[in-house]
Structure 1
Amino acid sequence: MPDGPAIPEPTLPADVAVLHGLVRELLAANHAQQDRIAQLEHRLDQLLKRLHGPRADTVHSNQGTLFGDPPADPPPPVELPPKPSSASRTPSGHGRRPLPANLPRETVVIDIPEAEKLSVGGTWVRIGEETSERLDFTPASLFVRRTVRPKYAVRFDDRPDLIRVAELPPEALPKCSAAPGLVADVIVSKLVDHLPLYRQEKRYARQGYNLARSTLCGWLAEAAGVLAPLYAILKARVLAEPIVHTDDTPIPVRDPAREHCRTGRLWAYVSKAGVVYDATEDRCRDGPLQFLRGFQGYLQCDAYAGYDELFRRSKGTVVEVGCWAHARRKFVEAEKTSPAVAHEAVAGIKALYAVEHAAKGLDPPARAAMRERESGPRLRGMKEWLDRQRATAVPKTPIADAITYVTNQWGALTAYVRDGDLAIDNNAAERAVKPFAIGRKNWLFFGSDRGGRTLATLASFTATCAAFGVNPWTWFHDTLTILPTTPLDRLATLLPAKAT
């Protein structure tokens, strides 16, 4: 029984020149398919790493010499204060750490029973005590704060009686059934501990009161509304600094008009004055253009094309600074398909970071001088090497994309060398958006664009508290308590600040 219809063999042209042309076409098609397969394999590897594997940007240690040249001498060591001698150093040991002195103490006295003292006889004189401490915990609990205002009837002989009662102090959330302490707990639980509202709902139910998720959501929105003037002051302070880092991350937003969530965007802006976030409906350039209106200085960012219009309009008043961590990541992603070139590039970037490590203890002018002396020659050698590699790299491959990224961003990537206040990378902004990658796994999505704006306002304060070592619950509690009685010209004093 035949297996199936026979497949006719292709007829080849008799003309040799035509055959040569056909072979060239087949070879070109084969090369294109191989390139496409390599691209798809690379994309698959990246997706699998994101899904299952570690995200650390690592390469093998056998990276060889730097750009084909002998390794350069390491940068000179930085003069740092001498470390205390072993004789004067407090031994760290591996025992139990002492418990913090700032925590409240609850003292339990265990004395010898009086009957035992009497049975022993003699005179008992207390000469000291043995103490031990263990860390304990009291679960957070709900309670009702009951405010009582005595009401008085004031009677007069010659005029009508009066009814008098003390005035209620002004409140930040007068229509809210929750006091500042509970509102602060909801905010911190969601934005610092990444606890979604449905879990908070269950937690409060265990403590004796059923709070609807919609109620908790309303409290967040109310708090963001009353804190909006402080948010505006924080934004102005962050953008008044000469150096601002920025990055963005996607946030899923529920859209009633669609079956699935759409992707909004959360932008982080970081400077020495703090951290401020902005939420937009998408990633179009209008978001940063509007938020950064009036800003002048260095803007450290990735190579997002939406910033290009900002740099063009600024006419030099906003200077782009690149991120070597982002550039390094490109080469790490190309390691599988082009290991030799990727390793050499990563080794070169590692040498730049070695200079930064050595210059860490220097003041900005000395750091800039060291960069010019140590990193300048390395960067010039790297640029020549990249130009040679770019000429031979196969287009649309991961290594070609990495080389193109760095060469296109060369001016921004080397800007940090000239100013000791600038950073070699944009890690400050990347750290500011990283918590939301954790939060997204718990929140799943935002209910609306208003929810995104609420998040941006409240998260600006939690992130600034974290940057300055301020307890976020204490800050929200105290600020929501005293905000109504704070004059407008004193609002800035309420912002989180470093302890002096």
Structure 2
Amino acid sequence: MTRTDGLPNDVDALKRIIAEQQLAMERLKADQQAAIDDAVKAAVAAILRRYYGPRSEKFDPRQLLLFGERVDQAPLDTASIEEESGEPLKTRRPRHKHGRQQLPEHLERIEIEHDLDDKACPACGNERCRIGSEISEQLEYFPASFKVLRHIRHKYACSKCDHDGYDPHITTAAKPPQPIDKGLPGPSLLAYVITSKLGDHLPLYRLERIFERQQVHVARSTMCAWMRCAGELVRPLVDLMIERVRKSKVIHTDDTTVPIQSPGAKQCRKGRIWCYLGDEANPYTVYDYTPSRSRDGPAKWLSGYEGYLQADAYGGYDGIFHSQNVTEVACWAHARRKFYDAQDSDDERARQMLTLIAELYAIEREAREADEAARWQLRQERSAGVLTRIKTWLDAEQQVVLPRSPMATAITYAQNQWQALTTYVTQGFLNIDNNASERALKRVALGRKNWLFAGNDAAAENHARLWSLIASCERHCVDPQRYLTSVLAKIGTTPREELGQFLPDVWKAEDVAEPVEPT
């Protein structure tokens, strides 16, 4: 049987068949071109939103119910909106009036009295007596100042032995150990430089100019050397924090790039900073540096760890999940973001999924203040049902969406990660997303926009260790500069088995319990 068998012999009929096929081909090409145009527009919109648009990914569930109508013209069905959104309807919060706030009580008060130059009564000429005072407070700033600590080490000798011609046994008083042996900076100055660069994202060349305004010249290269010495000094303490984090039931992790200077190269190469967040029993945030994003980095750091690991879908973690007793916990914020970005090309489906995900987060907000057992119970009773509806929606829509479209990409991501996305409901101590580790990496992102790069791999490793102390301090609401001043002054003479006193939460408890000496 040939391919022409079954075709009519009538010329007009053949022309009609050819015309129909041509029309079908034109429609197919038009549909393909429309899909390509939509994909390009979505990609361009995503790029523009990334660089110029708002960072917030807030979603108003009422928009799903309006179908293009103006908000002020559509009737507001509160019950329907709450049912669709999975959360109570909230009106816009009233703005607080801007006004002068009460100044903190802990600030030192310096009283400045203002008296009348002429106390004579304008009517009778008698001297007027004081009947009261009006008190107002003004906030003033006294710039930090340098002070020079002169260490005077007294020497002693035996005058009798010296007189008799014997060895006078000269002895010099010992100076307390310093953070940098024979170095210029005291603990407070060293802590200030570290906090300024890695806590407040201040490049060292700017700090150099700030010091010069007080007629003190400290070269940025010198401050780099100070930070390197400090990073080595605190290495045992950071190692202790790492040991504690590895004992956690769940660890949050993420990574980001950090530019590294490469001698002879035209541009910086990209190293990686990884963050690892311990649980409530081991409340520390530690950072690790690797020259690349190879899987060897997290595999080495997490070697021997058993528990839950919450991370993004980076394939470098797969070996850990397969070879160790580690359970993967995915991030619903990552999954949600892909549907949010798909709004430009498939608005209706995107909003349907965003509404379902909003129900999950509404349950989490309700369970936030509950204990671990109550949180697990709430998730089993309510979140599991929402997840079932989401999975049904994903299975149905995956069959009809255009391949390679942003919506298809979002659905495929959720399907591939589904088991890990549903793990959080099995335990009360797990989180629905990995936003905590993303927030922990913001300090790196802000820093690289200011100091731009790390000089070499060793400098980046020191940054990671010092970031670990600063981030863990902020996690416990501890002033990092005050903490580092205390730690740098004492850690050099502290035995390794006693380093636990410098863990931020332990240090804070002892600092609060320590009585304040009267001034």
Give the equivalent residue in structure 1 for 2:421: 413
Letter in 2 for 1:51: Y
Which of 231, 237, 244 pairs up with 2:244? 237
Is 1:56 aligned with 2:56? yes
Deviation of 1:285 (Å):
0.9
Distance 2:25 2:500 in 1: 70
Question: What aligned pairs does 1:351-390 form with structure 2 within 5 A after superposition?
Answer: 351-390=359-398
Q: CA deviation at 1:321?
A: 0.8
* Aligned pairs for 1:169-184 within 5 A: 169-184=176-191
Residues 302-356 of structure 1, C-alpha deviations (whole Å, 9 max, x = no match): 1111111110111xx2111111111111101000000000000000000111111
What residue is the counterpart of 2:92 in the other structure? none
Comparing 47-56 and 358-367, the one that deviates more: 47-56
Q: What pairs up with 1:10-409 in 2 under 5 angstroms?
A: 31-59=31-59, 61-64=61-64, 95-110=99-114, 120=126, 130-157=134-161, 158=164, 159-271=166-278, 272=280, 273-314=283-324, 317-409=325-417
Unaligned stretches of 5+ residues in structure 2: 1-13, 66-79, 89-95, 510-519
How far residue 70 of structure 1 moved from its aligned partner, in angstroms, is 10
Q: Which residue of 2 aligns with 1:86?
A: none
Distance 1:146 1:25 in 2: 90
Query: Displacement, 1:129?
Result: 5.8
SS at match of 2:415: helix
* Matching residue's letter, 1:55: R
Q: 1 CA distance for matches of 2:207 and 2:219?
A: 10
Q: For the residues of structure 1 that align with 2:180 and 2:81, how far apart are their CA atoms?
A: 67
CA distances 1:144-185 after superposition (whole Å, capped 9, x unpaired): 221112223321155432322201112221142111111111
Per mean C-alpha deviation after superposition, the further-off stretch among 198-207 and 53-62 is 53-62
Counterpart amino acid of residue 395 in structure 1: P
State the Cα RMSD in Å.
Answer: 2.9
Q: Give the number of aligned pairs.
A: 465
Q: 1:467 aligns with which of 468, 475, 480?
A: 475
1:242 CA displacement: 0.6
Aligned to 1:492: 500
Give TM-score, length-normalised by structure 2. 0.82
Which is further off, 235-244 or 255-264? Answer: 255-264
Q: Indicate if the aligned counterparts of 1:198 and 1:213 stay in contact, CA closer than 8 A.
A: yes
- Aligned 1:445-456 pairs, distance under 5 A: 445-456=453-464
1:201 touches 1:213 (CA, 8 Å); kept in 2? yes
Separation of aligned partners in 1, 2:394 and 2:274: 32
- Which sections of structure 1, spanning at least 5 residues, go unmatched? 1-13, 78-91
SS state of the match for residue 265, structure 1?
A: strand
Residue 3 of structure 1 aligns with which residue? none
Tell me how far 1:120 sits from its aligned partner. 4.9
8 A contact 1:479–1:494 mirrored in 2: yes
The share of aligned pairs that are identical, in percent, is 39
Structure 2 match to 1:87: none
Letter in 2 for 1:98: Q
Instruction: Flag the 1:448–1:38 CA change in 2: closer, same or farther, 3 A.
Output: farther
